[in-house]
Copies of this chain bind each other. A is one copy, B any other.
């Protein structure tokens, strides 16, 4: 059996050592490599210190097959990556690279500025390097050999790294092999990792061994990842996708990077419908989620943030008698809120929500976390009480997402009972 190639990451920057910056770049790189079945075995993180960078890179290059360096390509004195690599490659200094110089000059010209010495420093690379083009920033990356390892230097600015990542991974795969694994990412809402694992284990004894099931939580969604390593295993991948669709189809929003609000917008556009929201406890978060998606003006004309009882009456025409008799967190009130929002906005479908976000405001009868939601059309209004505990931030995020999901389910004629409701009904 061939030994699996080993990749290490070397992350540099004083801001990573002081704790002022949380490093998300290494996760980005690791996920991209994992997509080609390449594994990051070690991550070393050190500040902008010449000696420590040298000794760390030297150790890594003697141990691993490829090292991806992130950071230290900028124009300032603190940016040491090219100098460190050059000193190990041939004991010398970085030398001017014509392609890199051209890139810097073009980058400056496009911005109508004259390249200064700091800019031009970025054209100096270790002898024998190939440049890795940077489509968005002034600093090119570079690739070279050190001992028997491949070294690739990338910029620390996340948007620049992201733009270059395909190229970087391609170079590593070319050198080390690694398979372009087939990866399917399914975005879900309303089920948890342990539930999925349990149901797969209990009801799918025929799950093929070659299909790996992984998870990534990104509140309020959960990403399911199905991966196989070879072309021959693609049938098994499709088999498992179908299994998951059968078991959790109504919880699956779509593939890739789709979001709940993005998918809802797609469905509304397809059906030629518009939506509105009347929000009490979510305080604008539902409208903010909808309008965070580009193109939302096609499906959303406006929404009502009615935090106080007075505003529920004034903006939505909720009857003061209803508020007195049942309280603001009640089925009759959210029904009237929805009716008012639909009437005043002319939208086809809507959401109304009233609850107790906390930390204050709970009663024995209606504890913190209690939420009433009404959703649907004037002719087909639905209503439900749920309870969401956790921090105020978690409460507002989850309740807003649940509201969007309820409308999605109604529009698609899916069962209204997502797992987050079933669990509460038990």
Contact = CB atoms under 8 A, between A and B. Distances in A.
A304 B304 contact: yes
Given A44-B42, A294-B392, A301-B307, A20 B214 contact: yes
Contacts of A56: 42
Contacts of A310: 301, 346
Contacts of A219: none
Contacts of A294: 357-360, 392
Interface stretch (A45-53, A105-113, A134-142, A149-157): A45-53
Given A284-B288, A284-B291, A292-B393, A19 B43 contact: no
Q: How many identical subunits does the complex contain?
A: 2
Contact of A21 (B27, B302, B392): B27
Given A30-B19, A283-B288, A301 B311 contact: yes
A424 interface: no
Interface stretch (A33-41, A122-130, A244-252, A403-411): A33-41
Interface residues on A, range: 35 or more
A24 interface: yes
A384 interface: no
A97 interface: no
A70 interface: no
Contact of A17 (B11, B40, B295, B304): B40
Q: Which 9 A-B pairs have the closest CB atoms?
A: A283-B291, A284-B287, A19-B30, A302-B311, A19-B31, A43-B45, A301-B308, A284-B284, A284-B288
Interface of A: 11, 16-24, 26-34, 39-47, 52, 56, 214-217, 277, 279, 282-288, 290-292, 294-297, 300-308, 310-312, 314-315, 344-346, 357-360, 392-393, 396
